Amino acid sequence: MKYVFKYLKGYMRESVLGPLFKLLEATFELFVPLIVADIVDVGIKNGDRGHIVRMALLMVAFGVIGLSCTIAAQYFAAKASVGCTSKLRRALFERIGRLDCTTLDGVGSSTMVTRLTSDMNQVETGLNLTLRLLLRSPFVVFGAAVMAFTIDSHAALVFVATIPLLSVVVFGIMLISMPLYKKVQASLDRVLLASRENLTGVRVLRAFGREEDERAEFDARTGNLFSAQSFVGAISALLNPITYVMINAAAIVLVYVGALRVDAGVIEMGEVIALYNYMSQILVELIKLANLIINITRAVASANRIGAIIDLPVEENGTAHPAADSEYAVEFDHVSLRYKNGGADAVYDVSFRVRKGETVGIIGGTGSGKTSLVNLIPAFYPATGGVVSVFGHDVKTLDRAELRRRVAVVPQGAQLFSGSIRDNLLWGDENAGEDALLDAVRVSQSKDVVDSKEGGLDERVERGGVNFSGGQRQRLTIARALVSRADILILDDSSSALDFATDAALRSAIASLSPKPTVFVVSQRTSSIMHADMIVVLDGGVCVGVGTHEELLKRCSVYREIHESQIREGATA
Pick from 75, 60, 61: nearest CA to 22:
75
User: Which run of H or of E encompasses 151?
Assistant: helix 136-151
Domain boundaries, the chain: 2-310, 328-572
pLDDT (0 to 100) of residue 573: 47
Q: How far apart are CA 423 and CA 511, in angstroms?
A: 26
Residue 32 near residue 62, CB atoms below 8 Å: yes
DSSP track, 544-564: EEEE-HHHHHHH-HHHHHHHH
- Containing 450, the helix (H) or strand (E) segment is helix 447-452
Segments of the chain scoring below 50 in pLDDT: 571, 573
Strand ranges, E, within 199-357:
328-337, 347-355
Query: What are the tens digits of pLDDT across the range 300-319?
Result: 888 888 888 888 887 777 77
Q: Which of 167, 165, 216 is nearest to 194 (CA)?
A: 216
Q: List CB contacts of 444: < 8 A, sequence separation 6 or more.
A: 475, 476, 478, 479, 482, 506, 509
pLDDT digits (tens, 9 = 90+) for 480-539: 988 888 889 998 887 777 778 888 888 888 888 888 899 999 988 888 888 889 999 998
Q: What is the pLDDT of residues 323-368, one digit of tens each?
A: 666 788 899 999 999 888 777 888 999 999 999 889 999 998 888 8
Q: How far apart are CA 130 and CA 334, in angstroms?
A: 57
- Tell me how far apart the alpha carbons of residues 465 and 419 are, in angstroms, rounded to a whole number: 9
- What's at 390, amino acid-wise? V
Distance, in Å, from the CA atom of 397 to the CA atom of 240, rounded to the nearest integer, reads 60
Q: What does each C-alpha distance from 382 to 51, 204, 373, 501 come to in angstroms? A: 83, 32, 11, 37
Rounded Cα gap, residues 467 and 455, in angstroms: 14
Report the pLDDT value the prediction gives residue 324, as an integer from 0 to 100.
Answer: 63
Closest CA to 444 of 414, 401, 403: 414
Q: Give the span between the Cα atoms of 352 and 543, in whole angstroms.
A: 9
- Neighbouring CB atoms inside 10 A of 21's CB total 23
**What is the full DSSP assignment across 28-75?**
HHHHHHHHHHHIIIIIIHHT-HHHHHHHHHHHHHHHHHHHHHHHHHHH
CATH class for the region spanning 2-310 = mainly alpha
- Pairing status of strand 347-355 against strand 534-539: unpaired
- Give the SS3 label for residue 317: coil
| Contact in structure between 203 and 120 (CB atoms under 8 Å) | no
The alpha carbon torsion through 292, 294, 296, 297 (nearest 10 deg) reads 160
Q: Is 519 helix (H, G, I), strand (E, B) or coil?
A: strand
Residue 508 to residue 539: CA distance in whole angstroms: 28
- pLDDT, residue 569, reads 59
Strands 518-522 and 359-364: parallel
Q: Is 489 helix (H, G, I), strand (E, B) or coil?
A: strand
Do 421 and 476 form a contact (C-beta atoms < 8 A)? yes
Q: How many residues does the chain have?
A: 573
In CATH terms, is domain 328-572 a member of 3.40.50.970? no
Residues 446, 474, 459, 447: what is their CA dihedral angle, to the nearest 10 degrees? 0
3-state secondary structure (DSSP) of residue 463: helix
- pLDDT number for residue 323: 66
